[in-house]
Amino acid sequence: MGTMTSTYRVQNPKTNKVVETFETISDADLERALTTADEAFSTWRETPLEERAAVLRKVASLFDAQRDELAAIIAEEMGKSVREGNGEIDDVVDIFTYYADHGAELLADEPLETEGGSAVMRKVPLGVILGVMPWNYPYYQVARFAAPTLMAGNTVLLKHAEICARSSQKIQEILEEAGVPAGVFTNVYASHDQITTLIEDPRVQGVSLTGSERAGRAVAATAGKNLKKALLELGGTDPYIILDTDDVAAAAKTAWKKRMSNVGQACTSNKRIIVMEEFYDDFVAEMVRIAESFDQGDPMNPQKGEYYPMSSRDAAETLDEQVKKAVADGATLHTGGELAEGSAYYSPAVITGIPVGSESYYEEFFGPVAEIYSVADEEEAIKLANDSQYGLGGAVFSTDEERAKRVANQVVTGMIHVNIPQARGAELPFGGVKNSGFGRELGPLGIDEFVNRQRFFVADES
């Protein structure tokens, strides 16, 4: 912790300067926040669905109206270009609108065929739900968790990443401006010990965490010990298989764009690009050419052909160490991988030949590194794709759709795509298997995670 009074801060990754610090919440204030959230639940759960939907729609319109300010906040906090920040706001608007539009039908009672009475399966809210959210998509990740959770009638405590101190507070302000009653959504600058305290508290009914595998294990252990529902969305080393292509340059351009989105800091980045040996050399050469065409850019004033800082100096140093270790293990760094002095800029890298099965091979490279593998045939591609401790997303490309579907069908992930890097949409469930976690966000499944599916049986009059 050093001499800083607080870990919550705005620290501009472009300069590594701490712009502002925030006090971690006191235990007394945290207890008050939890009490208020618990008390607010008793009225919010009785608020008609149409009223909840109206509030969610208002949240969407406020995000839309304030997008420039919101994008500027995260550009300073975690280095996202304001152009990508604007795209993130589009997703937030979609998510709140989706649950406003579909919440009532998704939460409707389901009749059950039975004898001796009538039965329905109800979806009843649980109470206070804790969200522990990451810095890579500061608004989108919270929307993904909070929109369905609130629509279902729960109340929310948000513990955001320490570097998202302004954006997390801004989210609370927007929700309150939209008419969410006090205590229904509360941002808390909580410490890790305080998170444990919250999960242990009987008033907290569940926890949703998006973050590292290490954080997931810690939260899941505490949740399990306290018999609390948990949803985990953790890391990924998503396979991206190109079986064949009639345009290597176009295939490389598509793969590159996906890999460098958000400066490579996405759970579902195509972290292992797997290509057939017959066009591997051409593909790698094309990726190197693209990588070398990029210049350092300013997140506040993005131009074409630029890369931006990673979220923090720490994150950039970690990635630099990972790449150096991979090279020491026998990999080839073709270009990039240069860590700037005194900032979080890390030049886009292309790396090949990481020995399959090595420690480096199994690690997630959370930043602008294109990792490319050569395979001889479909069988080897599938084997490589599944040789991962993670199972989040992935994609398979071929000019022959049936061939791509056949291969995709054998990839073990929560989400798999054919002939598109990743499909997007509030209606599409998101989540993984293996060490990528469990549970699903978004779509119809997202609103089912934090509800009591209650069997309600009324006997026939005899």
- Smallest CA-to-CA distance from 442 within 107, 99, 104 is with 99
pLDDT in tens, 81-135: 999 999 999 999 999 999 999 999 999 999 999 999 999 999 999 999 999 999 9
382, containing H or E segment: helix 378-386
Cα angle 62, 451, 100 (rounded to 5 degrees) comes to 25
Torsion of CA 162, 166, 171, 176, to 10 degrees: 120
E strands, 204-279, in order: 204-210, 229-233, 239-242, 272-276
Domains of the chain: 9-234+437-459 (3.40.605.10), 239-425 (3.40.309.10)
Cα Rg for the chain, rounded, in angstroms? 23
Q: Which residues of 102-140 are buried (b: 16+ CB within 10 A; e: fewer)?
A: bbeebbeeeeeeeeeeebeeebebbbbbbbbbbbbbbbb
Amino acid at the residue 192: H
Task: Give the residue among 175, 177, 137, 179 at the shortest CA–CA distance from 157.
Answer: 175
Catalytic residues: 233, 267
41 and 127 Cβ atoms separated by less than 8 Å: yes
Query: For every one of its 462 residues, what pLDDT tens digit does the chain have, with 9 covering 90 and above?
Result: 233 445 999 999 999 999 999 999 999 999 999 999 999 999 999 999 999 999 999 999 999 999 999 999 999 999 999 999 999 999 999 999 999 999 999 999 999 999 999 999 999 999 999 999 999 999 999 999 999 999 999 999 999 999 999 999 999 999 999 999 999 999 999 999 999 999 999 999 999 999 999 999 999 999 999 999 999 999 999 999 999 999 999 999 999 999 999 999 999 999 999 999 999 999 999 999 999 999 999 999 999 999 999 999 999 999 999 999 999 999 999 999 999 999 999 999 999 999 999 999 999 999 999 999 999 999 999 999 999 999 999 999 999 999 999 999 999 999 999 999 999 999 999 999 999 999 999 999 999 999 999 999 999 997
Q: Is residue 256 within 8 Å of 287, Cβ to Cβ?
A: yes
DSSP 181: P
pLDDT at 3: 35
Element (H, E) at 18: strand 17-22
* Cβ-proximal residues to 304 (8 Å cutoff; 6+ apart), any chain: none
pTM equals 0.97
- Name the amino acid, one letter, at 340: A
Single out the residue of 8, 146, 177, 170 nearest to residue 74, CA to CA: 170
Contacts with 57 (C-beta within 8 Å, 6 or more apart), sequence order: 96, 97, 100
Q: What is the pLDDT of residues 146-198, one digit of tens each?
A: 999 999 999 999 999 999 999 999 999 999 999 999 999 999 999 999 999 99
Give the pairing of strands 155-159 and 204-210.
unpaired
